[in-house]
Amino acid sequence: MSESVDRLKELLFEPEGRALSDLRQRIDDLSLQEKQERLALLARIDQLFDRAGTEERFRDSVAVVLDAALREAEVSKHDQMARALAPLVVKTIKTELKNSQDEMVEALYPITGRLVKAYVASAMKDMMDQMNRRIEGNAVMLRMRSLTSGRSVAELALADSQRLEVDEMFLVRRGSGELIERWPERRQPVEGDIQLSGVLTAINEFASHAFKDGGGNLRAFELDTFTVFLRGSPTLLLAAKCRGTAPPKVEALIDQEFLEVIERRNWQLEQASLNGAAEGNGHDGAEAIAAVLPPVATALDAKLAEEHARITGSIERSNPLKAIAAVVLIPLLGWLAWSYYGRYMTNQAFEAAQRIVLATPAMLGYPATLDVTAQGRLVTISGLVPARNVKEQLVERLKQELPEATVVDRLAVVAGAGNEAGPELARVRREMAGLGADMQAASLRRALEQARRRVVATGADLILIDPLLGDDATRSSARRARSETARADREIATVLATLTAGAAASPRPLLDIARQLGAATREVEGLTGAPPAGPARPVGAADLGSAAEELDAASERLHTATVAALFALRNKPRPAVIERTPRERLEALLRANAVFFANGTDYRAPATTERKLDQLAAAIRQSDVVVRVIGYTDEAGGQARNSPLSTSRAEKVATALADRGVPRRRLVIVGRPTGLDLSNAVGPQSANRRVEFELGFDGELDEAQ
């Protein structure tokens, strides 16, 4: 057999043609058994070549074998395999991370940026939802706490949401990722805990090596709705999985508890090692140490609760507003209780009084009104009763049923129940007659006051109209309307004074005033050149009420016509600007100006008068015309005094114009003591004490000379 194999190998390495030829020859020379043996051997060689004939096939075959062996070892010898492979895997990952830090950071930066942005937005939304739920679920108490503490509702809700609670704790061996201890403790470790311990170890190692140059360590990260705090030593890793929002001092609290975990476990390991050495069993006794996480979790929960109480206590610490709120709130509660009690007693008294009224058969069909106040201690009954005895019985029953209440009787006995209602009816008639007279007088006063307000407003509008008029005729109409309006105002005031004094008024004066206002209305309607609205309304004899209505209507018509005229004149299209001659400019200036006097020949407004005279003198010098200077007086004094006074005033103004360069020969002095009055006033403020100017006629100067 071995010779055949050796010979077969020689044939394989011989040249292809000769080897195959010799092989066929030799096969033909063999017996049937030998042929079968050699063919089986060739088949086995082919199988060996297919599996390991080349380097690639050999590598694939070894990989399949190793994979099967690892699978079997994972099932039967899991712990030994983990301890054997974990250092190699960790070292490999460390090496790869160290060699490709820049590439990993560059690749992960955009992804982590988007994740952080999305997480921050989600976290803010979750926080707002949590705060809204807290505010909606306990809105009244939060507002009460806000009033007493001086803090906003949102701040209190945020403080309540900062409660941090420890959900789970893990103690993991660094390097291998072995889960040493878990709190709360489980009878059998589950696959999720083992995987979580490996993930925590990998994340911590990744952060430590990837960001080693920055000098920072991974101390906390978010996991779904939890926050995981990590603390590590050279051999151990403590992970606290917490729910809620961390207070400011949570990092220091976890650091303190982690140091205690390290000290407690090192001490336990030391004691277990000493005990094992003393017993001579050859191991350090690490399997016999006690659990260290339960006391740590209890202490951490207590300190977190204490810190939360301190935070909320600082928010709700007493302040002056609490005392003020207490001072205000206690009386307010007392007032609310007293108001409720008062309403209750009032309702009880009202229901009792209503039962008595309904239980009285004689009151059927007669209206009665009950008014109960002062917590039911004051009951007022008003309305009608059929007879006096029914009234007395009803009031007596109310007093018996409500002994602590004061019953006020305002019931009236209707007529038809005997002579007992006679005096009452007479009193009512007298009161109604007096009430009617008072109402008539009040209505008359209101009508007169309204008419006077319109007349006063019309007088003010007529003053505004006067500068808008363009010729002497319309100015005269406006002055007559203003004079009639002023006289009507005085007469209406006289009638009102009569009514106020309690004297009887006659309709005749009211009708006369209405006629005056009608005449003024016609004058105003002619100011704009438009035809009157209609013929004058006749005013005939009437009673006092009708006369007041007529006067009110006349004042309204006058006021309406005045407002319409003022509006039309203000909105009248302006004529095209035409260059006027010096004579035309002087004529307009003389028509628009006058000099007013106080007493004698004293100017009423000296400064204004001086400026006005300067302007007039300049215009007169520019035109070769005659100007009449006309002096006027008011009604004070007699004819003998006013005639020379009017001439003296004109003389003074003419002298002032001559002093300003106006030739004296072009000034004609005229005195008119009795002229058209501008005002009803008499005295230094009267507009009648004035000097006006008129343009003389052509040739008037020669005739005057």
What b-and-e string marks burial along 374-399, b requiring 16 or more CB atoms within 10 Å of the CB?
A: ebbeebebeeebbbeebbeebbebbe
pLDDT, position 174: 78
Interatomic CA distance for residues 326 and 147, integer angstroms: 10
| Residue 636: closest CA among 649, 645, 628 | 645
Radius of gyration of the chain (CA): 61
Give per-residue pLDDT as tens, 348-369: 888 888 888 888 888 777 888 8
Interatomic CA distance for residues 304 and 337, integer angstroms: 42
CATH number of 582-704: 3.30.1330.60
Q: Which residue type does 307 have?
A: E
Interatomic CA distance for residues 649 and 272, integer angstroms: 136
Give per-residue pLDDT as tens, 273-328: 777 655 555 444 445 466 777 888 788 778 777 776 776 655 444 455 555 666 67
**Helix ranges, 30-160 (H):** 32-52, 55-76, 78-99, 101-137, 139-149, 153-160
Size (the chain), residues: 705
Distance from chain centroid for Cα 485: 54
Q: Which two tokens stand for residue 128?
A: 């707002």
Query: How many CA atoms, within 13 angstroms, populate the side-chain half-sphere of residue 138?
Result: 14
Look up residue 538 and give its DSSP letter.
P
CATH number of 337-414: 3.30.1340.30
Per the CB < 8 A criterion, the answer to whether 238 and 261 are in contact is yes
Q: Which two tokens stand for residue 617?
A: 């003198």
Give SS3 for 350: helix
Per the CB < 8 A criterion, the answer to whether 630 and 656 are in contact is no
| Residue 368: closest CA among 357, 352, 356, 379 | 357
CATH number of 430-570: 1.20.140
Identify the sign of the CA torsion 561, 566, 567, 571: positive
Burial (0-12, 13-18, 19+ Cβ within 10 Å), 248: exposed
Interatomic CA distance for residues 255 and 162, integer angstroms: 19
Which residue's entry shows tokens 């203003």?
Answer: 482
Interatomic CA distance for residues 200 and 238, integer angstroms: 10
Q: Which two tokens stand for residue 475?
A: 């100015």
| Residues 6+ positions from 375 with CB-CB distance below 8 Å | 341, 342, 345, 346
Interatomic CA distance for residues 622 and 627, integer angstroms: 13
pLDDT, position 655: 93
Which residue's entry shows tokens 């009104």?
Answer: 369
Interatomic CA distance for residues 434 and 425, integer angstroms: 14
Q: Which two tokens stand for residue 480?
A: 């007559």
pLDDT along the chain (705 residues), means of 10: 53 50 62 77 78 77 77 73 71 73 64 63 62 56 60 60 75 79 74 73 73 65 77 79 73 76 74 64 50 79 75 53 65 81 85 85 81 82 83 85 84 62 59 63 80 85 80 79 85 81 75 86 78 52 73 86 83 66 84 88 90 90 88 80 86 92 89 78 83 83 54
β-pairing, 627-631 with 667-671? parallel
Which residue's entry shows tokens 């008003």?
Answer: 382
pLDDT, position 318: 47
Q: How far is CA 395 from CA 44, 141, 356, 411, 584, in A?
A: 134, 51, 10, 9, 93
Angle between helices 78-99 and 191-210 (to 10 degrees): 30
Phi, psi of 135 (to 5 degrees): -70, -45
Q: Which residue type does 40 have?
A: A
Q: Which two tokens stand for residue 117?
A: 């942005």
Interatomic CA distance for residues 305 and 331, integer angstroms: 36
| Residue 258: closest CA among 285, 231, 288 | 231
β-pairing, 165-173 with 236-243? antiparallel
CATH superfamily assigned to domain 162-277+290-317: Dynein light chain 2a, cytoplasmic (3.30.450.30)
Question: Does the bond joining 184 to the residue before it have cis omega, within 30 degrees of 0?
Answer: yes
Interatomic CA distance for residues 172 and 200, integer angstroms: 9
Interatomic CA distance for residues 309 and 131, integer angstroms: 18
